[in-house]
Amino acid sequence: MRVADSLLELHGARAGYAGPVTPAASFAVARGEVVGLAGPNGIGKSTLLKAVLGTATLFAGRIERAPEMRIGYLSQQPVRLPEVPLSGSELLATLGADRLTPPARLMEKLKERIDRLSGGEYQLLMLWATLAGEGDLILLDEPTNNLDASHIRTAIDEIAAARAQRATLVVSHDRGFLDAVCTRIVALEPVRG
């Protein structure tokens, strides 16, 4: 598959910081796809996402991004400021994520300050901000952190609803979540020997 068809391609990519920590990964993500990255803890799923972002080092292989492509990224631990007078709707406007209608359970919280939301509400807001933003490629790192079962259901629905316009790459330790939300799962295997 060429970049012309997909927004992101990894060819034998090995990423890390001081040295490589991920096995070689080869896969592509096209618009309309939700690709899950699965694998045991510590194998470097998040590191691979960061290599796509450019914040981790690529030691081998190559990563090709479609030209002019914009990336939306939800970190494994989104920045949470202990005190900031910013409402949810202002946060969405700041990111250009206010053109779409948020899920109902988020709508009722948008006027509240983001530092007064519960952990689950804040995570759902940050997930929605990433999905509804200007990104063509969406990278989600453990998007179910802090979410209870009903929030996870909402997250699955929203990721599915945003699928057609986006290419999405999801990292999660929750295989059930990946099975529910992904169109395809890529399993990272430990390097043998």
Partner 1 sequence: MDSLFAVPFFAGLSLALLLPLVGNLLRLRDEWLATLGLAHLAAAGALLGVAAHLPTFVGALAGALTGAGAKQASGGRSNSAYGLMILAGWALTLLVAANTALGDALAHALIDGQLYFAGWREFAIDVIVLLAALPVLRWLAPRLLAARLFPERERANGLPAWRWHFGFDLLAATAIAAGTATFGLMASFALIFVPPWIAFRLGADWRRAQWLAAGIGVAGYGAAFWLALTLDQPFGPVLVGLLVLSFGISTLWCRPASADFLRMSRG
Residue among 40 and 96 whose Cβ is closer to partner 1: 96
Scan residues 123-162 and list those touching partner 1 (CB under 8 A).
Answer: 129
Which of 19, 67, 82, 193 is the binder for partner 1 (CB under 8 A)?
A: 82
Q: Which of 144, 84, 154 is nearest to 114 (CA)?
A: 84
Which of 2, 67, 83, 149 is the binder for partner 1 (CB under 8 A)?
A: 83
To partner 1, the closest distance from the beta carbon of 66 in angstroms equals 13
Residue 116: both structure tokens together: 């007064």
Residue among 50 and 166 whose Cβ is closer to partner 1: 50
How far apart (Å, rounded) are the C-alpha atoms in residues 183 and 162? 13
Which of 12, 42, 119, 176 is the binder for partner 1 (CB under 8 A)?
A: 119
CA distances from 5 to 9, 33, 35, 72, 142 (A): 10, 12, 15, 19, 27
How far apart (Å, rounded) are the C-alpha atoms in residues 53 and 2? 20
Decide: is 93 part of the binding site for partner 1 (CB under 8 A): yes
Which of 34, 91, 106, 178 is the binder for partner 1 (CB under 8 A)?
A: 91
Instruction: Work out the angle at residue 149's Cα, subtended by the Cα atoms of residues 96 and 184, and round it to the nearest 5 degrees.
Output: 70
DSSP state at residue 191: P
Decide: is 170 part of the binding site for partner 1 (CB under 8 A): no
Decide: is 51 part of the binding site for partner 1 (CB under 8 A): no
Residue showing tokens 């998040």:
46
State the DSSP H helix or E strand holding residue 35, giving kind and residue range, or none if neither.
strand 34-38
Residue among 149 and 192 whose Cβ is closer to partner 1: 149
Decide: is 105 part of the binding site for partner 1 (CB under 8 A): no
**What residues make contact with partner 1 under the rule CB under 8 A?**
50, 52-55, 70-73, 75, 78-87, 90-91, 93-95, 111, 113, 115-119, 129
